[in-house]
Structure 1
Amino acid sequence: MLRAISTATAGLLAQQARVDAAAHNLANANTEGYKAQGVAFADLLYQQMGKEGIPARREGEATPPAGSGAYVAATPRDFSPGPLVQTGRPLDVAVSGPGMLRVSLPDGRYAYTRCGILAVDARGRLVTRQGYPLDPPVNLPLDFQSLTLNSNGLVTITTSNGQQEAGRIVLYSFANPSGLLALGENLFLPTEASGEAVADENSTLVQGFLEASNVDLAGEMGGLLEAQRAYQLNARVIRAADEMWEMANSLRR
């Protein structure tokens, strides 16, 4: 009975993680460039059962091992593209393909994002809405009148002296983007699982558009119901084990 309680408790914790992930995805259903988070489960340690003096496996007979529940093995991200939404704002850019924008963080690290809401800071640099400059940097004169972004990332501006090139936005991709570490603010850090960032010449940029969240609302609601039902069943196992324990403790000699 103790084993049933601990096993069902592990199931409760696993399903709680699934509900938490679904809640996080639903909360970011309208977050530009957000990538849905999944939950992958794995079974816990097995123990071969057998009484003292009796082998766990007899000739011609196998005693099934007793499992101890499930746990969250990974929380992978779904990097499938989200729909493109037209904004008409010249500093909004969407990435078509697996590429990502690279930004420089205040601590010197590089982070990567799919959210292309850009702005020009007081120093004339193209930055994200959090104020992180793009890398390689793109510097604009403060008196520029208009900006045009080609699909290959080339930035062309118009000033009182005519048109001129101001730099190029470089995109990067990873061999295993699901291995990236989510930092928050739509930013990701590379890990050993993701591999090193490499320049992506195949992805393109679309000016005046943003990539919407790739959260599947219908799928998330269905998964939420499944997790709730599994949580309920594990709770019933704990209640049943507790009732059996109560009956065992009430036995009279």
Structure 2
Amino acid sequence: MRALYTAATGMSAQEKNVEVISNNVANMRTNGFKRQTVHFQDLLYDHHRRSGSPTSDQNTQVPAGLFFGSGTKVVATPRIMSQGNVTQTERTYDLAIRGEGFLRVQLPDGRTAYTRDGGFETDSQGRITTKEGYVVDPGITIPPNATSVSISQTGQVSALLPGDTVPQQIGQLTMSRFINKVGLESIGDNLFLETAGSGQAIDGTPGSEGFGNIQQGYLEESNVNAVTEIAAMIQAQRAYELNSKIIQGADQMLQATSGMFRG
């Protein structure tokens, strides 16, 4: 019976939906995390009679066709790239992006990754890095004798050295944005990679046209909303239950049919 397989696709799709929701909830406290949503599509249809088919020699036509669907499938899990809340941390190397853009990170294999998580540190060489030790691109080294470090909204990194009264600029942070940022590939560690779907990175400086600015001593929180995720979970549970009820109903109908043959 077709209904068994159709409802099974619905249950499978909702299982994947719950997986996405659970990942969103698990990352509610992950800095710079962007929540995912699930897009569904219906599967192929079995056409028994198409709309507009002739029904007589007098050119009468069928106003509505006769066709049966075969279920649903998950086709995409795009990220919602909306701005998360910005909270103050008062840590020197915590940087929040307010607006469009990503900070660039140099991976050990030479690839460039992109992040909205500005929770940075300095390594043993004084370079600004991610918490995994990946160097923020372009590489900026903080002098070991610097008494204070400031990072402007436009990404200028300045350090106050002993004996100086005016900070010296030691580097310039740059940012990248994408025509289709939803097309970026997530690789974990709060990092994204450029893909053919995202288009090539468009580089610029913070605060310039099309780019957001940098807030030192702040971090961007996850944009996951607990109430939204709870509502989505309830909808997924109900859809799963309804599909399971259809399978139970189809099974009872098959049992009734087989009972007639046994009788």
Same fold (TM over 0.5): yes
CA gap 1:57/1:246 in 2 versus in 1, 3 angstroms: farther
| Residue 32 (structure 1) aligns with | 31
In the alignment, the residues of structure 1 paired with residue 228 and residue 171 of structure 2 have an alpha-carbon distance, to the nearest angstrom, of: 41
1:40·1:73 contact (CA, 8 Å) conserved in 2?
Answer: yes
Q: Which residue of 1 aligns with 2:242?
A: 233
- In the alignment, which residue of structure 2 is the partner of 1:206? 215
SS at match of 2:46: coil
Structure 1 gap ranges (5+): none
- Superposed CA deviations along residues 99-125 of structure 1, whole A, max 9, x for unmatched, are 111101111111101000011111221
Q: Is the 8 A contact 1:144 1:158 kept in 2?
A: yes
Query: Which of 66, 81, 84 is the equivalent residue of 1:82?
Result: 84
Matches within 5 A, 1:51-62: 57-59=53-55, 60-61=61-62, 62=64
The alpha carbon displacement at 1:142 in A equals 2.1
Residue 64 of structure 1: CA displacement? 2.2
Alignment match, 2:255: 246
Structure 2: segments with no counterpart, 5+ residues: 56-60
Q: Determine if the alignment matches structure 1 residue 191 to structure 2 residue 200.
A: no
* Aligned residue pairs, count: 249
- Work out the percentage of aligned pairs sharing the same amino acid: 40
Q: Which runs of 4+ in 1 moved over 2 A?
A: 55-64
Are 1:216 and 2:208 counterparts? no
**What is the alpha-carbon root mean square deviation over aligned residues?**
1.8
Output the amino acid matched with 1:90. T
Shift of 1:63: 3.4
Contact preservation (8 Å) 1:48, 1:56: no
What are the superposed Cα offsets for residues 207-247 of structure 1, whole Å, 9 maximum, x if unpaired? 01000110111111101100100000001111111111111
1:70 aligns with 2:72: yes
**Normalised by the size of structure 1, how large is the TM-score?**
0.94
- CA offsets 1:16-68 (integer angstroms, 9 cap, x no match): 11111111111111111110011111111112126xxxx99452324322111
**C-alpha separation in 2, matches of 1:220 and 1:234:** 21
- Are 1:165 and 2:175 an aligned pair? no
CA contact (8 A) 1:49 1:56 kept: no
Q: Letter of the 2:193 partner, please give it.
A: L
Partner of 2:131: 129
SS at 2:48's partner residue?
coil
CA distance in 1, matches of 2:6, 2:225: 31
- Secondary structure of 2:16's aligned partner: helix
